[in-house]
Structure 1
Amino acid sequence: MELWTSARRSKVIDVRGVLGVLVLFYTIGVESRKSVKWDYFEYGASNCRAHSASVSDFGGVGDGTTENTKAFQAAVDHLSQFSSKGGSLLYVPPGRWLTGSFNLTSYFTLYLDKDAVLLGSQNESEYPLIEPLPSYGRGRDADGARYSSLIFGNNLTDVVITGANGTIDGQGELWWTKFRAGKLDYTRPYLIEIMFSTDIQISNLTLINSPSWNVHPVYCSNVVVQGLTILAPVKSPNTDGINPDSCTNTRIQDCYIVSGDDCVAVKSGWDEYGISFGMPTKQLVIRRLTCISPTSAVIALGSEMSGGIEDVRAEDITAIDSESGVRIKTAVGRGGYVKDVYVRGMTLKTMKWVFWMTGNYGSHPDNNYDPNAIPVIQNINYRDVVAENVTMAAKLEGIAGDPFTGICISNVTIGLAQNSKKLQWNCTDVAGITSEVNPKPCDLLPDQGQGKIEECNFPEDSLPVENMGVQTCYFFRKRW
């Protein structure tokens, strides 16, 4: 194969790795006298790989028109034999690589060159149909099956999808048009979906024009999503950026998202299906996120949250021209809970609402939901927020007889737009406290006075996901 990889752990000298690199450089020196040239790359990953190949080794053609679905799948299938032998890396060289859905394997890295573009096929037959998610009971777009994602994985361990800011282009316009016209019988494919898996890294890529959601880890643990640029037209339907769904121990950081829907949407199943499946999203870190989404939220919790959402920590969030900063979406019939949410350090410019909670979101998968399944929303904390050009400070609507409780808002300054609403805080069926908030909050969130709120403090302990480190990995590509 053309590629060779080596690794060294950050701040730790791996003598064997150094010796391997020296041997390689000696080999390169010998072969250079035979007019062999080498490209050298390094990248950060949770784990490095001992074996590698290029998709071109399996008949792939990066001309933008040749279908490469079989080449990608053949490459992955071949490399899967090395799962227990140091793992493997599939290199995508410069070019435009048209492909439909393909499945990943364990102990595996998919690496896109900086000049590589994966183009999502617009041929529906290139996306196999798969079953609805058990915590949803149906597809999101239509009842029944759904199209497999462009990059898909199920029951995997140790998967890295990364690159030198290479691009994955879902070519979603065709899918958006069919969806709007009601001409799709099944749910649109996502760009990346990983299910029932652990130790996942998705990093240093540009994702554009997804048919629907961009990144969807579901039923996963130990997930790191970082360094992504995600772009979609702001009027494209349901092009959420990153949707952690029934996942434990997840970190999302250093991402820039322009979206037709929520930039980050935290989920855990839909009504009776999510309640029955019972897998919450918890231990979630979101930081250094920049978002533009004129019709949706920077961070949404729900609306599919029936398995529960807890211990969410978001900080250093920037948003421009977005509908709301943080939105909690739920309804009667959802059940589940959203609790222990901590947000600090938001800078927001041109917003419809800074804070938005709604208990009447409504949308249900079918008519079999339990009207007595009442969600619990409690211990929601926001602090250190500066917002400019805001139409309305907050719209906080709990559920009659089931108020959202434990809301804490501190050190918030909201500058109003010229066309701002006369009523700045619209609060019903909520309870909590505030301190140093301007404009003055509603009576259901009484001001406790300067420096009187400790409950809004951000947790000082670290979550297990903080211990997921990155190694410096190397690979060399031979050029004749």
Structure 2
Amino acid sequence: MTSPFILALSARMAALCLPVSGARYDLPQPLAWRLTGHNVTDGMAEKAVLVLNDLRPATAYRFEAEGVGAISFTTPALSGLVKAADFGLRSGTDIADEEAALANARALAEAVAAVPPDGMLVLPPGRHVSLPLRLKSHMTLHFEEGAVLQAPASRQHWPILPARDDTGRMLGSWEGLPADCYAAPLHAVDAEALTIEGPGIVDGGGDRSDWWTWPKETRNGARRPRGLHLIRCRDVQLIGFTIRNAPSWTIHPQGCEQVAAVGLSIQAPHDSPNTDGFDPEGCRDVTLAGLHFTVGDDCIAIKAGKRGPRGEADHLAETRRIHIHHCLMERGHGGVVIGSEMSGGVHDVLVEDCDMIGTDRGLRLKTRRGRGGRISNIRLRRVRLDGVQTAFSANAHYFCDADGHAPWVQSRDSAAVNETTPVIEGIAVEDVAIHGLAHAVGVFLGLPEAPIQSVTLSRVAVHSHDENAIATPPIMADHIRPMRHEGVLAEHAVISCDDPALLSAGVISLVASETSP
């Protein structure tokens, strides 16, 4: 019998994984559990990742669940508790009240400064409108049940992060390049041992301000903020809260190490622009477990920066060791996406025991000539796809940026290989069930000068098709023909599939090269 294991642990919260065979986001059936410590608590678990709240610091606990064994753990000690209400925090103010937003930002900044090392700041129940708050090292921000941290409707007094700090390191960013950007409602820079937790809500206010009306533009020379922006942080835990209505990407760890995001709800309207759910960029050792996504763009987009227009690369950092499990991607352009900003390289990504429902794509890789970088060792297993358009895709002719449709980007003729040539190799997909497929099982379009290597599909089953599907090009590249209910197609890609029936006899491109008729 495999015992539960700890995913994240703080003085007041614990997140556990219940290792039940056949579990994805939900358990096959509810399990009774019991927690003993300073008192006894009983409950029923319906999800594979269980978040426990209202624990006591420095207390020994024993957790038991029906059919999965037991585990003992001790919560960390807490050096001090700071209450935001003691610093004059106002609740229930109007989001248009600029004075209240500024006053609350000052109160929260004073409260953060008062938190001792390894202490906790508690946000009480109520809606607290505040300008962006910067967190620090060795602290926990805890949202009580009913607490909402709400961004104001106005950008008045909103801080802007410069593209680089005083030492020249990237600080603000936009789509993989250094850029001035508005600070996120919650953000941290160079913080260590930081925990953000609790059953409360972070609301970025994108639905009640004008952020979503200028998705690719600037205001006051700055790009839109994220919902939660973590820059060069280390040893971060994000546990149990809801984050919604981000002005752009919802959670953006940038250059971080050892990040665990567990039991979160990440929300944005389906038509909100570029509101990706979780975008680790230039990060190492990131775990995403038990997350529920309903967003306006990609649910998870793994990135590694973008080479600059003149070849600038000093801001790039590889992304490595990303583990995604027991998550629910319930709408979005892609379930798990890699790129298109991948110039620093993306390696060792494992996606397992997840549900993707109503996402346009399941696993999606995208890049283009000029990016450089390498994508390698990408694994997806024990995943259910329901209502997807194309289950798996890898596209090395992605038409992003102003020159994305230029002949040198889109040509199917071989080009010279250099440091700007992207490389994709090592994609393994196994034990995947597909329901309601619209366009194609898989489309893999590589570069003639750098074909996609070592793609393996094992035990992939198509259970049903979307009978209302309209034939549509399944990837964003030029010269792609519309597809409907097709299998696996490859061009300049090496594919191994254990089911010959999945391999399509069709072609991807309408033309073989720029010079073909």
Q: Does the CA-based 8 Å contact 1:274-1:306 persist in structure 2? A: no
Q: Does the CA-based 8 Å contact 1:394-1:425 persist in structure 2? A: yes
Separation of aligned partners in 2, 1:63 and 1:225? 29
Q: Which residue is equivalent to 1:363?
A: 400
Cα distance change of structure 1 residues 236 and 192 upon mapping to structure 2, 3 Å threshold: same
Cα distance change of structure 1 residues 422 and 292 upon mapping to structure 2, 3 Å threshold: closer
Q: Does the CA-based 8 Å contact 1:141-1:187 persist in structure 2? A: no
Cα distance change of structure 1 residues 188 and 159 upon mapping to structure 2, 3 Å threshold: same
Structure 1 gap ranges (5+): 12-20, 23-39, 445-480
Q: Does the CA-based 8 Å contact 1:190-1:210 persist in structure 2? A: yes
Structure 1 residues 27-79: Cα deviation after superposition (integer angstroms, max 9, x where no partner): xxxxxxxxxxxxx9327998542111111111101113332111111111122
> Which residue of 389, 393, 396 maps to 2:441?
393
Separation of aligned partners in 2, 1:274 and 1:205? 37
Structure 1 residues 426-446: Cα deviation after superposition (integer angstroms, max 9, x where no partner): 3211112111365335699xx
Please give the residue correspondences for 1:234-383 in structure 2 after superposition, counting only pairs within 5 Å.
Answer: 234-272=270-308, 275-294=313-332, 296-364=333-401, 372=418, 373-383=420-430
Q: Which residue is equivalent to 2:54?
A: 41
Structure 1 residues 356-410: Cα deviation after superposition (integer angstroms, max 9, x where no partner): 111112334899x999401110011100110111112122111122111010111
Cα distance change of structure 1 residues 70 and 9 upon mapping to structure 2, 3 Å threshold: closer
Q: Which residue is equivalent to 1:131?
A: 162
Match of 1:244, SS state, is coil
Separation of aligned partners in 2, 1:258 and 1:9? 24
Please give the residue correspondences for 1:59-208 in structure 2 after superposition, counting only pairs within 5 Å.
Answer: 59-65=88-94, 66-67=100-101, 68-79=104-115, 82-83=116-117, 87-132=118-163, 139-140=174-175, 144-163=179-198, 165-173=199-207, 174-179=209-214, 182=217, 184=219, 185-208=221-244
Letter in 2 for 1:349: D
Separation of aligned partners in 2, 1:143 and 1:201? 26
Separation of aligned partners in 2, 1:332 and 1:142? 17
Q: Which has the higher helix share?
A: 1
Q: What is the TM-score when the length of structure 1 is the normalising length?
A: 0.78
- Which one scores higher on RCO, CA 8 angstroms, separation ≥ 6? 1
Q: Does the CA-based 8 Å contact 1:333-1:371 persist in structure 2? A: no
Q: Which residue is equivalent to 1:230?
A: 266
Letter in 1 for 2:130: T
Cα distance change of structure 1 residues 43 and 57 upon mapping to structure 2, 3 Å threshold: same
Cα distance change of structure 1 residues 138 and 190 upon mapping to structure 2, 3 Å threshold: closer
> Over the residues paired in the alignment, what is the CA RMSD in angstroms?
3.2
Cα distance change of structure 1 residues 154 and 182 upon mapping to structure 2, 3 Å threshold: closer
Using the TM superposition, name which of 414-423 and 140-149 deviates more: 140-149
- What is the aligned-residue identity percentage? 25
Cα distance change of structure 1 residues 43 and 348 upon mapping to structure 2, 3 Å threshold: farther
Q: Which residue is equivalent to 2:29?
A: none
Letter in 1 for 2:174: G
Q: State the number of aligned residues.
A: 408
**2:246 is the counterpart of 1:210:** yes
Match of 1:344, SS state, is strand
Separation of aligned partners in 1, 2:436 and 2:81? 51
Cα distance change of structure 1 residues 47 and 101 upon mapping to structure 2, 3 Å threshold: farther
